[in-house]
Structure formats: C-alpha cells, structure tokens
Structure 1
Amino acid sequence: MAGNTEPLSPRAKLAVTAGKAAAAVSRAAGRGSGSVIGGRVALKLDPDLLGRLAQHLDVILVSATNGKTTTTRLIAEALRAAGPVVSNALGANMPAGITSALAGGSDAKFGVIEVDEKYLAGVARDTTPKAIALLNLSRDQLDRAAETRMMAEHWREGLSGSKAVVIANADDPLVVWAASSSANVVWVAAGQAWKDDAWSCPSCGGVMQRPGDDWFCGQCGFRRPAPSWALNGDYVLDPHGSAWPIHLQLPGRANKANAATSAAVAAVFGVPPQVALERMYQVQAVAGRYDVVTFQNRELRLLLAKNPAGWLETFSLIDPPPTPVILSVNARGADGTDTSWLWDVDYTQLAGHPIFVLGDRKLDLAVRLEVAGLDFRVCETLDEAVQYAPPGRIEVIANYTAFQDLRRRVGN
C-alpha cells in the first residue's frame, strides 16, 4: 500500500541534514529533544519537505483534544506487527515536530503521526494519509484554540474529499459531525465521559437529546451512527461480533477506549485485533505519563491532565482517599494562558484526599479549591509538598508544562 518511493531531491536531503544538525545543537545545549527547531530549519530550506518525507509511507494521523499521544503510541506498537514504524512518539505534534520525526524514518513502512487539532487539515493535505483517527473534541487552551464547534467545522471542511479511512468516535457528536464529510468512516463506540461541550447540535444548534448511551438532535435528526467497533468493559467488540480482551499496563477506562480505537486502526492495515491488543501490552508509560517514580524515599505516580475533560478522566484513575494528591498548574504558552477552565473541573471529587497545590498558577487553583470547600495546602516546591504529604503513594496531577517541570525535578 505504500506510495511513490522516488528518492529525495538534493534540496530535500540538504534540508534533512541541516535539520538534524540544528536538533543536535539544541540537544547539546540542554534545550530538549531539538525536534521542533530541527523541523523548523528543515522546512525553511524545503517548504515541501513534509510531503516528500511522507510519500513512501502509509501515514496514519491521530488527532483529538485528549489521548492523542497515548493512542499514537498504541497504534505504533500494533502496526509494528506489519512492518517498521516511524512516529513522533514524544508528542511534538505541529508540522515542524512531525517533519523531524519523519526525517528519522527512511526505512519505515508506516508513519503514525500525532497531530495538533488546529493543524490536522494542513498535515492531512501534505501527507495524504491512508487512515485518520479522531478521538474527541473538547475545550482546551481557551486563548489559542477555536471554540469546539468551529474546530469541528475546520476538521469537517479539511477532511472533505480525503481518500483516507477515518476511524472516529461515534459517542462524540462533534467528532461525528467532523467525520461525516468523509466517504469512508469506521465508527467506534469509544465512550464520552465529558459531555459539557456537546449539548447543542453541531449541525443545527438544536438541543441534543441523550437517552442512555445514545444521542440525537430532536430538531434536525442528526444522530449517533451505528458503530462497527465498540469498547465493552474490558473487551473490544470487532465488526464480526467477536470480543477481544484488553490487557494494558496503562490505567483507566480512557486508555481502554484508546486501545479500542487503535485496534480498529490496525485492522485497516490487516493486523488482527488479537495481535494488535497483545502488542499494546508492551506500553507501560507514554512520555512520562503514568510513570511511578521514587523521590525523597516516596513513590509518586505522575499523571497529566490539561483541560476539564482530562481532569475528569484522571480523577477516575487515582487511588481512593486518604491517598495524598499533589496538583500543579502553570499557564505558559504551551498550556494556554487562560486558566478560567479551572472553574469547569469538579474538584469536589477530591474530597477526603490530603491536597497540596503548586505551580505558577497555584493561587488560581487555590481559589477554585476554596470555593469547592476542600482542605488543601499551598506549597512553593514539589519537595515541600512531598515533605508534608502523609504516608503512602502520592498521586501527582499536573498540566502540560507543570508536568515537564515535575519530570525534570524527579529526574524522569
């Protein structure tokens, strides 16, 4: 199924070499992986490089508000059963980071690429994907991202006419609206815990009816499509009605949903569900997420939550009270500088947990917890929070840059 394999032009080769050199300099200077700066340099020298690097690959794009890094990793593991894979495994998901990742995969058969929601249409245009996985859409980075209905419209327009097989979550009305412009859609019943961004119909604006697990618009008839794949407890149901057990080292229902979608993607490329799901068991952590680390003679589990939907899923993962919980929130560029989303999170679910608060915006979070009627302690550092935490494993929940700060502090 792979496309044209004509060799890279001299200009493209120069761009790849220069990009790798820039990335190496960045790494040597201690400024991270260098993938973004390397990709930017390469694209400056050859603006069409992303398309050139993708031309010999079966490309799979993964986009969503939550879960795209983990799902990208699960799909990549599953597809390795059918051939070598190149992937942006560290989550650099804009064109520069994607270009850097593909530049390192000249022998690969599959390119499994996580894509930021805003860039999905453009990356799809450049890479001519064979498959596109759409997981969910919810509010995120309020200062940067469009309102969710506008994002769904952007996807819908961008994917119209695409020849890709679109694997989409039938339980998210915004995703269904976006995917419905595509000619070839595989629907997966992956669930939707967070519904606060999908009460109005994306098609006509009417009020969405939600009896049980179903949904439909009472005004225009837009409704949940019949899924051919489904998550059912600890099993994936395939289109033939067979139930395949999900065995993951990653916790929580959301990751089972990610595995169900990943199995549906793998099947497009001929990897059977049993093989795909067995391979997914290899994934223990994803870019530090879910890692359990030892710090100051205490066990800490590191959990990432970037927006209300993500926090809701994360609360369902943590050990019950009186397990201590550390919460850390920043509002830097990569997080979004608007923290008003904190008011959409139901922090009363943390009642009974000793809570410790840190991060650049610890006072914003403290006000939110005060209003929720919770007991908490504001701390200046992770070290201080761990020192005050009562015995037992500590659950640490942080948004994006706060999570990176914590990983650096614990040496992860």
Structure 2
Amino acid sequence: MAGNSDPLTPRAKIAVTAGKAVAAASRAAGRGSGSVIGGRVALKLDPDLLARLAQNLDVVLVSATNGKTTTTRLIAEALRAAGPVVSNALGANMPAGITSALAGGSEARYGVIEVDEKYLAGVARDTDPKCIALLNLSRDQLDRAAETRMLAENWREGLAGSKAVIVANADDPLVVWAASSSANVIWVAAGQMWKDDAWSCPSCGGVMQRPGDDWFCGDCGFRRPTPSWALSGDHVLDPHGSAWPIHLQLPGRANKANAASSAAVAAVFGVPPQVALERMYQVQAVAGRYDVVQFQERDLRLLLAKNPAGWLETFSLIDPPPTPVILSVNARGADGTDTSWLWDVDYTRLTGHPICVIGDRKLDLAVRLEVANQQFQVCENLDQAVQLCPPGRIEVIANYTAFQDLRRRVGN
C-alpha cells in the first residue's frame, strides 16, 4: 500500500528538479512536451530514480502492440474512484518518459504506466508493479522491433517470478505463452481480430488449430486458458457471471476489449466493474485519437493506425461508403523505416470510399492501393486532400508521425 514517507534522497530531488527545468525549457522552445529529455536528464543524475519514484505507489503497467495508450487512460479513470492517479497519459512509454510522468505525481496513490513492449521487463523490475496488463502482440516497426515471438519470450523470461497480478488476453497465443510463466494470472477473453502473427505455436513451433474462438496446438497441447473475464457484445462478464454494460465515447470493438481488460485491472484494486465502467465514459479522445476536428469548414475524424492489426481494427469503425477517407503514412524513426507492412493490410475493405493519399511515403501506399484495385488520388498535403474530398465527414487514418503532423496542421 502506498505510504506517505518521502522516498526521495537529496540526489533524487536534485534529479527531479533538473529534469523538470529541462522539460520546461524544451516546451518553451516549442520542442514538444519535454517529458523525454527531462526524464533522460533526471535518470543521468540518479539512475535509480524510477525505482524511487515508484516506491510509494501501487503501480499498474500496461503493454501491448496496439491499444496501450487508450487502455492506460481507461484504467487511470477507473482507479481515480479509489484515489489520486499519476500516469504517462501522453504516451511517452520508455524509461525516460515514464520517469518524467512519475516525477509529477507526488500526491498520487496509484501509478498507471504505459510501457513500450521492448522495455516491459526492465520497467517491471524497477517499479515492482502490483498489476501488469498484457493486451496483444503483433508485427510492428519491422526494422527495429524483434520478431513477435522473441518479444513474447522476452516478456516470459522478464515476468517469471514476478509478484504482480498479470491481467492477460486469453485470445492471443503469444500473450498467453508470455504470461504463463507467472504465478498469478487473470485471463480475459478480449478477442483477437488480427491472427496472422499467431498461426504457429509459440511453445513448440507446431501449427495452431483455431476452431471458432478457441485455439490450441495439435503438437504440444498448448491451449487457450479458460477466461474469468470476457467481452460479450456490449457487456463485460465478470468472474461471477454478472454482465456489466460498457458505456464508452470511444468507438469500435477494440475499445470495448480495452474496457474489459481495464475493468479486470480495476477489480484487482477493489474498484467494482460498475464503478470502473461508468468512469471510463469520461474518456472522449486519447492524445487526439478519435477526435473530430473542424478544418477548412469540414469535419475530420482523426484515427491512428500504426501497423496491420491497427489498420484492420480502424477499417471496422469508419463510416460506410461513400464516406471519404484520407490515408497518411510516414516512415520516420518513430514509425519504423520499413514500409513492407503495408502489404499485410487488406485495403480491399476500403472499396467504395473515395480515397486521398498523403504523407512522406504516399507513393509506397499508392502502389499498394493500386494492387488492391482501389480508386484513389495522390495529394501534396492535407489541405489539398480535404479540398478534393466529396461532401460529408472525412475519416483521416494515419500512422504515428503522420498523425502528429496532422494534429499540428489542424491545431489539435
């Protein structure tokens, strides 16, 4: 339980002060939030700072390829029913950004922390979490990230022996394999729309059998565990079999799945499902995602999709044809510079939508759309694309840095 004694040494206090000063200077210079550079400076001055800041908090870590920023927000809202929360709500999810976020929450009782998949094991060691939520693993940033099974192995080894309660998606074989090294796992049937990274058994390499919603390995017997929580339509089923309605302002099935996992996490901290789910209604947008903005006298809905699994989920929530769609893809450092993942996305789902294509790698995307027999126009920028779109609300789908570019352009 969080106490009130001051865990910070004089050195740690100097590190926090210096980090905040650098972050403020970075913000003043217009270079973003400053959280990453501030955290880096603070960790240089006190390498143990993250562990010290987490010492008096009940910590939840959230990791996944898709949905971790949103789920972190939903859990934070739910836990505010039980006490003050500090969280890295803007998605700076590596150690420097996490350190910055925790440094700003001296009165908090709970720390709800989104963690980049590659850093989960290390951050779990430093923060001694009470609970860890594992949502999914799929291909992402192909030039930088390890192959998905290697990430799962990293989780499996890093979480073995952890005292944390693991809340894990029973429908993702890679997540189940990673979580199975832990002593205390709560399984959630959250679903898995994208299955292309889970056809071979992570345990033995055999071929996965997938009858209906079930899965198992015919070779070694590795199989889907029985969930105690489940997403069922517009309800979360709790371990007692009670169904609780999900009321979200965020669209789509994926966010209902995030809410189901978040309700299971909240219950670990004694927040009942009804209270947790009612509080999640407060979340309207997450770091600009799902926001509807006015630009050039048009309504634009901003949607983030960073990898094939994310694009598949996003296509399921756009308005039906002939709603116009603008697609924007970059391949900068934060996106991964390899765009071959575009060929894993089923763009035939956009048939009937007028499409405009922008972004640094608009020509890569244009070739992919041509092969998928889609009608599209290549545009220089957002302004031109909006002018070319027929009437109606426009769905704008972008990957990571392209999404940040769009937010700056529309003043969001």
Measure how far apart 1:32 and its partner are. 0.4
Are the aligned partners of 2:206 and 2:217 in contact in 1 as well (CA < 8 Å)? yes
Q: 1:353 to 1:220 in 2, by over 3 A?
A: same
TM-aligned CA distance change 1:172 to 1:3, over 3 Å: farther
Q: CA deviation at 1:5?
A: 3.7
**What whole-Å deviation, never above 9, does each CA across 1:201-256 have from its counterpart, x for those lacking one?**
00000000000000000000000000000000000000000000000000000000
| Distance apart, 1:267 and its partner CA | 0.1
Q: Residues of 2 paired with 1:244 and 1:8: CA distance? A: 41
Structure 1 position 84 matched with structure 2 position 90: no
Partner of 1:379: 379
- For the residue of structure 1 that corresponds to 2:231, the secondary structure is strand
Equivalent residue pairs, number = 412
Q: Deviation per CA, 1:163-198, whole angstroms, max 9, x where unpaired?
A: 000000000000000000000000000000000000
Aligned residue for 1:59, secondary structure, equals: strand
Give yes or no for contact 2:7–2:55 (8 Å, CA) kept in 1.
no
Q: Is the CA contact 1:327–1:398 (under 8 Å) kept in the aligned structure 2? A: yes
Partner deviation per Cα, 1:322-371 (whole Å, 9 max, x = no partner)? 00000000000000000000000000000000000000000000000000
TM-score (norm 2): 0.99
Rounded Cα–Cα distance in structure 2 between residues aligned with 1:47 and 1:336? 28
Deviation at 1:6, TM superposition (A): 4.0
1:143-175 Cα deviation digits (max 9, x unpaired) = 110000000000000000000000000000000
| Offset from partner CA, 1:271-298 (integer Å, 9 cap, x none) | 0000000000000000000000000000
Partner of 2:108: 108
Indicate conservation of the 8 Å contact 1:166/1:184, yes or no.
yes
SS at match of 1:142: coil
Q: Given that residues 134 and 166 in structure 2 are in contact (C-alpha distance below 8 angstroms), is that contact kept between their aligned partners in structure 1? A: yes
- Give SS of 1:196's match: coil
Secondary structure at the counterpart of residue 5 of structure 1: coil
SS in 2 for 1:187: strand
Deviation at residue 3 of structure 1 after TM alignment: 6.0
Distance 1:246 1:3 in 2: 33
Displacement of 1:7 in angstroms is 3.2
Give 1:258 deviation, angstroms: 0.1
| Paired residues for 1:221-240 under 5 Å | 221-240=221-240
The residue matched to 1:186 in structure 2 has which SS?
Answer: strand
Give the Cα separation in 2 of the matches to 1:409 and 1:169: 37
Displacement of 1:4 in angstroms is 8.1
Q: What is the distance in 1 between the residues matched to 2:7 and 2:152?
A: 36
Conserved in 2, the CA contact under 8 Å of 1:5 and 1:55? no
Is the contact made by 1:3 and 1:58 (CA closer than 8 Å) also made in structure 2?
no
Give the gaps of 5 or more residues in structure 2.
none
Cα separation, 1, equivalents of 2:219 and 2:100: 47
Q: Is the 8 A contact 1:266 1:272 kept in 2?
A: yes
Q: Please give the secondary structure, in 2, of the residue aligned with 1:334.
A: coil
Distance 1:130 1:5, change over 3 A: farther
The separation in 2 between residues aligned to 1:143 and 1:360, in whole angstroms, is 17
In 2, the alpha carbon distance for the partners of 1:33 and 1:238 equals: 38
Per-residue deviation, residues 97-139 of structure 1 (Å, max 9, x unmatched): 0000000001000000000000000000000000000000000
Give 1:161's aligned residue.
Answer: 161
Which structure 2 residues correspond to residues 133-144 of structure 1 after superposition, within 5 A?
A: 133-144=133-144
Quick one: distance in 1 between partners of 2:60 and 2:151? 20
SS at match of 1:157: helix
Match of 2:367 in 1: 367
Give the secondary-structure state (helix, strand or coil) at the position aligned to 1:364.
helix
Contact between 2:7 and 2:53, CA under 8 Å: does it hold in 1? no
* Residue aligned with 1:317, SS: coil
Alignment deviations for residues 291-313 of structure 1 (CA, whole Å, 9 cap, x no partner): 00000000000000000000000
Provide, for residues 371-391 of structure 1, a one-character-per-residue CA deviation record: whole Å limited to 9, x for no partner: 001110000010000000000
- Separation in 2, partners of 1:160, 1:4: 30
Cα distance in 1 for partners of 2:200, 2:381 equals 42
CA RMSD of aligned residues (A): 0.6
Aligned to 1:176: 176
Taking a change above 3 Å as real, the CA distance of residues 373 and 308 of structure 1, as seen in their structure-2 partners, is same
Structure 2: how far apart are the matches of 1:385 and 1:177?
44
TM-score by length of 1: 0.99
Whether the 8 Å CA contact 1:4–1:55 is kept in 2: the answer is no
CA distance in 2 between counterparts of 1:297 and 1:168 reads 44
State the SS of the aligned residue for 1:299.
strand
CA distance in 2, matches of 1:102, 1:180: 29
Three-state SS of the structure 2 residue aligned to 1:188 is strand
Offset of 1:2 from its aligned partner? 2.4
Aligned to 1:339: 339
User: Which position in structure 2 is the counterpart of 1:74?
Assistant: 74
